[in-house]
Amino acid sequence: MKKNIAVLAGDGIGPEVMNEAIKVLDKVALKFGHEFEYTEALIGGAAYDEHGEHLPESTLKVCGGADAVLFGSVGGPVDAQDDPKWKGCEKTAILGIRRHFSFNINLRPSIVFEALTDISPLKKSLIGDGFDIMIIRELTGGIYFGKHETSDENGVRVARDEMRYDENEVRAIAKVAFDIAKTRGGKLISVDKANVLDCSILWRKVMEEASADYGDVALEHMYIDNAAMQLVKNPRSFDTVVTGNMFGDILSDLSSVFAGSLGVLGSASLNADGFGMYEPSGGSAPDIAGRGIANPIAQILSAAMMLKYSFGMQDEYDAVYDAVSQTLADGVRTGDICSAEMKAVGTSEMGDEIASRV
């Protein structure tokens, strides 16, 4: 298969970890007989230096002409956010690209590899031999996008936020969620608050209707409060989770800490046409940028997600995932996931080790 990939490495550790993702993609291409063509474009502070803006039209054009977008990270040091180069950088670049391509679905995996159970904040007895949960969040609807209003009613300040979903929005994410659940453990948990909210009652009905087309996926419903508790108490009982914007925001951040480091988690944003952008869950990590010590696994797993969800390459995804898992099991670690008695490797060596196991 021939695929054109837009590569937006961005700022901070972005270019360093992106090199390693491309190294692994090249190995996949070689092993499986694919041809990946990479078109690089500037974004974030790197684009500002060249074009005076964080998301130039030329970058959107490169992305629009590609089969998928592989994104690194953007943004400068936290104490330099007022510098014109960094001011509003993350917001302009990321929200801008999401809006431009109407990315309305967010995939946030929460993976604890067996070899990394010791760095997870969860107890070993809860983790067992590790787990792999996929949280699918609706991204452009719900209460964050409803009408917001603060008023004065007889001298009392009152605030209102409107939550709205229509059945088409829910049906669209239901389809993606069932399709993804089918390629995983075949179990989909839909999270809502249907004991209180009309939006959730509709959400639940539409999920039920959609399940009729997916006899091979077991659908379960769970209230958000219970889901938050169960994710911590019994994470291994989850496989694929689908939920609305606000609940997904909270659950995906909650479960991102289970891995023990931001350096190992990928993510994706998809639109209704299946076009996707893939990026690490963490940011540009200015505190360690340029030192060759960042963990490239998040970027490598983001690239693997691109293979699976944009190109339909399940075997290739599995090959990368297994290579990461095996590398960790063999005791190869970057500093963020290393224990005191282990010797940390650098970004490039970690990339070499993973590529060699693909």
* Residue 225 falls in the annotated catalytic set: yes
Identify the active-site residue in 198, 213, 225, 315.
225
Residue entry with tokens 């039920």: 208
Q: Which is nearer to ligand NAD, 71 or 203 (CB)?
A: 71
Q: Which is nearer to ligand NAD, 14 or 193 (CB)?
A: 14
φ, ψ for residue 260, nearest 5 deg: 95, -20
Residues 6+ apart with CB under 8 A from 226: none
Identify the active-site residue in 118, 253, 315, 322.
253
Q: Which is nearer to ligand NAD, 165 or 278 (CB)?
A: 278
Which amino acid belongs to residue 178? Answer: F
Q: Which is nearer to ligand NAD, 137 or 193 (CB)?
A: 137
Least distance from ligand NAD to the Cβ atom of residue 348, Å: 13
The answer to whether residues 75 and 94 touch, using CB atoms and an 8 Å cutoff, is no
DSSP 8-state code for residue 311: T
With 0-12 / 13-18 / 19 or more C-beta atoms within 10 angstroms meaning exposed / middle / buried, residue 97 is buried
Task: Tokens for 310, please give them.
Answer: 């944009």
347's enclosing H/E stretch is: helix 347-357
Identify the active-site residue in 38, 67, 85, 144.
144
Least distance from ligand NAD to the Cβ atom of residue 287, Å: 5
* Residue 253 falls in the annotated catalytic set: yes
Handedness of CA 111, 23, 26, 328 (dihedral sign): negative
The answer to whether residues 248 and 136 touch, using CB atoms and an 8 Å cutoff, is yes
Identify the active-site residue in 193, 214, 239, 321.
193
Residues 6+ apart with CB under 8 A from 331: 115, 342
- Interface with ligand NAD (CB under 6 A): 13, 17, 73-76, 78, 90, 94, 262-263, 279, 282-288, 294-295, 298, 336
Q: Which is nearer to ligand NAD, 136 or 268 (CB)?
A: 268
Active site residues: 144, 193, 225, 249, 253
